[in-house]
Amino acid sequence: MTKWEYKVLKQGIGIKGANAEEIEVELNLWGEEGWELVSIERQQNSLLVVLKRPVSSPRRREPKDRWF
């Protein structure tokens, strides 16, 4: 079974909104590092981006580290 790690990014987009070309360049850079886009959502003046990639070695978290 594949184990995943996730990265959540929040990027300000300013008054004029997001530039599609800039988003594409940024996503391609993350993709070169093995990250895959899971979702992207606009929130007022920012974008919330969720990325995932397979974990190369299993990590174990202690119960105190869980936030839910």
Sequence ranges of the domains in the chain: 4-54
Which pair of structure tokens corresponds to residue 57?
A: 């070695």
67 DSSP assignment: -
Higher pLDDT residue, 31 or 43? 31
| pLDDT of amino acid 3 | 94
Give pLDDT, residue 43.
Answer: 86
The H-assigned helical ranges of the chain are 20-32
Q: Which residues does 37 contact at the CB level (< 8 Å), separation at least 6?
A: 27, 30, 49, 50, 51
- Does residue 8 or residue 11 have the better pLDDT? 8
Residue 11 DSSP SS3: strand
pTM of this prediction exceeds 0.85: no
